[in-house]
Amino acid sequence: MIFTPDLLSSLDILDWGYTEDPIPTSFDKYLKWTAENQHGTLSYLNDHRKELRKDLREVYPDFQSALVFIFDYRRSKKWMLENDHHQLAAYSLGFDGEDYHTALKKRLSVIYEILKEKFENLETFISLDIQPVLERDLAQKAGLGWFGKNSMIIHQKYGSYFMIGSLLLNQKLPVGTKKVDIDHCGQCTACAEACPTDAIDITTRTIKTNQCISTFTIEMFKEVPAPKGFDKSRGEIFGCDICQDVCPWNKKSLRSVSAKLSLKDNFKFLSEWFYDLPKSTLISIIEKSSNRGLRKKLYGTAFDRPGKEGWLKNLKATQNVFLKKHKGED
């Protein structure tokens, strides 16, 4: 066994897979999606790096194989659901409040150090979603699930409350491969029906990015109108889990975990800011902060991305929704 159960558990790894195939199967679909401008304001998905996604060797020329891991954040999700907290996407607090890029890079580095002791001259390229890699395609190829109708990778046992991280390696390893999973969504369309902004195209299993609440609250840093249907949201101010929360595979997966929100000491203020303070108070705090000061306060978390203007946009948009609902307006 290449990895012990105790090691996997200590690193929050739910499952892992292996592939030696560098060519993604969904690249043509990705090209069509960008050609139709479905990437919207996410220009980095359609810039000079687009062609790099056609072959893992474009990103890592020494590629011979890949180990793909899925990292668990179900405990924080269950805690949020049990406390009726929908303001934040669960992944944002799922790794002790630390930015998941940082947290997963540390975990992947631990795995690499272990592998180096077993395989001589092994080198790696750590791949997360900031690299020009079709990571969900890679996870599917490694036998870790199928593309759901909401475009997420869904694992039969663990649902989709996880983040993907990979090690691209310069050697082939004596590791067995898993069978690529078939589609298990069937006739279910719960994700698309629940999306208040109609951002899910179930035919192509892609996202209409500019209609997505996550795009609006995370990727749009300036004052812009909320997507149509945002007034039917649950008060999301950073990311959105609606399509995952209604997925039957996730409901099944959550039964096996206990609810827990764990934050590092220097990130404990996140719970107070986003769950305890009235929205008007948080708006006042951010208005009085400089953009630099706010980013410094939020440094090391996922929340420094929108910046001051983006945060005020998000908070005021949801505050307006709340006021409308309580005034009985449409």
pTM of the model: 0.94
Q: Is the dihedral of CA 215, 251, 259, 194 positive or negative?
A: positive
Tell me how crowded residue 281 is: count the other CB atoms within 10 A of its CB: 11
The pLDDT value given to residue 323: 55
Write out 155-196 in H/E/C secondary structure: ECCCECCEEEEEEEECCCCCCCCCCCCCCCCCCCCHHHHHCC
Give residues with Cβ within 8 angstroms of 203, minimum separation 6: none
Tokens standing for residue 93: 């607090």
Q: Which is catalytic among the residues 28, 62, 129, 183? A: 129
The pLDDT value given to residue 329: 47
- pLDDT mean values, one per 10 residues, the chain (330 residues): 91 98 96 94 92 97 98 98 96 97 98 96 97 97 97 98 98 94 96 98 95 96 92 95 98 96 96 94 96 96 96 91 54
The pair phi, psi for residue 153, each rounded to 5°, is -80, 125
The pLDDT value given to residue 141: 97
Is there a catalytic annotation at residue 276? no
Cα gap 157→9, rounded to integer Å: 16
Cα gap 266→317, rounded to integer Å: 28
Whole-Å CA distances, 326 to 83, 190, 280, 322, 323 = 21, 27, 16, 6, 5
CB 56 within 8 A of CB 63: yes
CB 43 within 8 A of CB 185: no
Q: Among 307, 273, 260, 297, which Cα is nearest to 96's?
A: 260
